[in-house]
Amino acid sequence: MKRAIIYARVSTEDQAQHGYSLVDQIDKCILRAKEEGAEKIIHCVDEGFSGDLLARPGLTKARNLIKTATINFFICFDPDRLARKLAHQLIITDEIEKHGCKLVFVNFNWQNTSEGRLFYSLRGAIAEFEKEKIRERTMRGLRQKALQGGLTHNPDAYGYDYNQATNSLIINEREAEVYHLISSWFLDESLGYSAIARRLTSMGIPTKRGAKRWAATTVLRMLSNPLYKGELWLQRYDTVGKKNNKYLSPDEKVKVTEHPKDHRVLIKVPAIITSSTFHKQLQQAKRISRLSKSRANYLLSGLVFCGLCESAMTGTRNSHNAYYRCTKGKHCPQPYLPSKVAENAIWNEVIAMLSNKQILDGLNVSDAECYEVQVLRRQLYEGEKEYERLINLIQRGYVSLDDAEERLTSVKDRINRLNISLQSQSTKKEQDPKTFQLSTKLKSLSFKSKQRVVRSLAERIVVFPDYLVLYASIPPLVAANNCPPSGT
């Protein structure tokens, strides 16, 4: 009994451009197998696999059968269904012929002669060249489309929906509200990526793809993506061949590389946040990335830099003391800086800044307690906005009341505490109109509170062998001429 393998392959690209279909290929291969006298026909099919790959499930099955069983015919619709690369075509052809199996193509006359092999090789080379030309034209067309301000793909980004009719992004209002919450937690509460991911998960807010659990890396990418300030960069990465990586071994996987900056194309999309807010997110992200991974607590983590080599300095400790050291190690002559010495010096300077009459005069601050009032009102404003966003998400059915109840209660308690603090401030008697009465309060703060104050003021601390330089700025909130009116 004669046996034949019929092999058929189609990818999305082939189906769209050439009209190939699995059913059509299989029908014609079966007909040809019967013409050759085959009585038993074995189907080996690859759907959605590129012809660039040699390791395809259907093809691998066929090759194994040829090696282990008696197969009389290997029938394929066309040589480019067998492989898109000439080298792969020749490897498979040699295997088939080596095991005494006859190679048959439906629309190509294969002859195992010198002339036949030459023509077969030429045809394979031309097919490979044609595929590269198609790829080149496709990439050129996509680039031209990008240069004209059009989208070349759906970014599938949280906060946006893709309008296929207009080939544009539109803001998804519900997801945009969630993005504002994420930004607020990151900037106002200084939550890290993992903490934000846990909070989103606990509130039952799904990801863009409907998953129940959020990942810290997803939050990181969202907060550092310029898309949300209205800038989408196209043609940034070279991803040719990447789609086949899941079928390749680690050594064969194609690495995604970045195109040169002059090759990238910027298009404008609707913005969810302002450029200023995005810049603050980047600055906060930089600080987080510099935080020490040591178990010890360091007040100045992420802020200290070496004045000799400009490298970052991180916290370290021995059995007795904690220090800040230059990350260049032995390659930098900077001595270890005792953490207590540095932290006491910087904290005293922070207290002096917030109590300095000349600084206040320079800022034209007219109210003795204006700083505290502004901070409280700003925190109250952010709390009320978060509460409003949570209510909107609940009303629209995006999250359930049960899932958001704990967060709502927490925000509401925070709003109540801030209102009480504001009322307390308004009943205080005005003292010296040009000095802060903060020294006592600042000295009694917890470590985490001190760290928040330092990070809100200090931009960087540069260490030299004999002295420190603190680069700091009073937040714009404090630099206003007058306290904002209640409710702003």
Residues 305-325 as b or e (16 or more Cβ within 10 Å = b): bbbbeeebbbbbeeeeebbbb
Contact 222, 134 (CB under 8 A): no
> CA–CA separation, 138 vs 339, rounded Å?
58
H or E segment at 171? Answer: strand 168-171
Alpha-helix runs per DSSP H in 109-172: 114-147
11 is catalytic: yes
Neighbours of 441 (CB within 10 A): 13
Torsion angles phi and psi, residue 403, rounded to 5: -70, -35
Contact 124, 76 (CB under 8 A): no
> CA–CA separation, 162 vs 346, rounded Å?
50
Q: Considering only CA atoms, which of 163, 164, 2, 158 is closest in space to residue 75?
A: 2
* AA identity, residue 25: Q
H or E segment at 347? Answer: helix 339-355
> Residue 397 has which token pair?
């059915």
> Residue 115 has which token pair?
């002339």
SS3 content of the chain, % helix, strand, coil (to 5): 50, 15, 35
Q: Which of 11, 50, 183, 339 is catalytic?
A: 11
Q: What are the helix and strand counts (H, E) for the chain?
A: 16, 16
Sign (positive or negative) of CA dihedral 50, 56, 58, 60:
positive
Which residues are annotated as catalytic? 11
